[in-house]
Amino acid sequence: MHTAKTVIVTGASSGLGFAIAKAYLERGDNVVGNARTLARLQEAAAKLGNPANLLLVEGDIAQPQTARKLFDQAIEAFGKVDILVNNAGIFIAKPVTDYTEAEVEAIVDTNLKGFFYPAQAAARHMAKNGAGHIVNITASIALQPNIKVPALLPVLIKGGINQAVRALALELAPSQVQVNAVAPGIIDTPLHGDDSQAREALKALAPTGQIGSPEDVVDAVLYLTDSTFVTGTVIAVDGGSATGTW
């Protein structure tokens, strides 16, 4: 029999975050969904049928007070937090010479600070409990850059997080807190639109010639949070892209 857990999902209003939140809700778990605005969270909740085990907490995940609020409200509502899925992120691919200062700041805020502050809050809470899972959604291209997709900033930040997963896993291992990551390749989300020609080009970026589904990423996340002996690993969900391409 499944024992309900409490799961925080950042970037839960759309795309992969929505799919991850939905999967945990369907299991009977409590989900605390975060996004920048309450309106987007309410739209997502309506699509999910406004379940009683879904708590909405709006706020900019780059701000430390948002991470504190997420954990405070989750603990108040459900007693404790078992799982953190650091999903919120933005992806901007362009030549290094074309990045603007605003884009640098946005990626650092969402992708770096949006990882660090929730992970820090999770470490404090979960270490006291002697259990927990932190799963970070990174990027396959940070494991294996591709000349066809110049993306230095995502590679810089997500690549750093891939390494940070290993360091944090070691640091929290004595507390039985597991830290892992899922590194998606091209996944079929609204981010990529419906242009058939563009989709064919995206398929060509994976050796299998496919675009993944959100469920492929969900399956990897659920595997990691069901595990009791997996920590410090990065699972590529990318149709083989991280095996090597140039």
Angle subtended at Cα 244 by Cα 239 and Cα 246, rounded to the nearest 5 degrees: 110
What pLDDT, on the 0 to 100 scale, is given for residue 246? 57
What pLDDT, on the 0 to 100 scale, is given for residue 206? 86
What pLDDT, on the 0 to 100 scale, is given for residue 207? 86
Q: What is the largest CA-CA distance in the chain?
A: 54
Q: Where are the beta strands (DSSP E) in the chain?
A: 6-10, 30-35, 54-58, 83-86, 132-137, 177-184, 234-237
What pLDDT, on the 0 to 100 scale, is given for residue 193? 61
Query: From edge to edge, which strands make up the β-sheet containing 30-35?
Result: 54-58, 30-35, 6-10, 83-86, 132-137, 177-184, 234-237
Residues 6 or more apart in contact with residue 178 via CB below 8 angstroms: 132, 133, 134, 169, 172, 224, 227, 228, 230, 231
What pLDDT, on the 0 to 100 scale, is given for residue 116? 98
What pLDDT, on the 0 to 100 scale, is given for residue 203? 85
What pLDDT, on the 0 to 100 scale, is given for residue 190? 67
What pLDDT, on the 0 to 100 scale, is given for residue 72? 98
Fold of 6-236: Rossmann fold (3.40.50)
Residue ranges for the chain with pLDDT beneath 70:
190-196, 245-246
What pLDDT, on the 0 to 100 scale, is given for residue 199? 76
What pLDDT, on the 0 to 100 scale, is given for residue 51? 97
Dihedral over Cα of 190, 19, 230, 126: its sign: positive
- Cα–Cα distance measured from residue 17 to residue 210, given in angstroms and rounded to the nearest whole number: 21
- Cα–Cα distance measured from residue 111 to residue 65, given in angstroms and rounded to the nearest whole number: 16
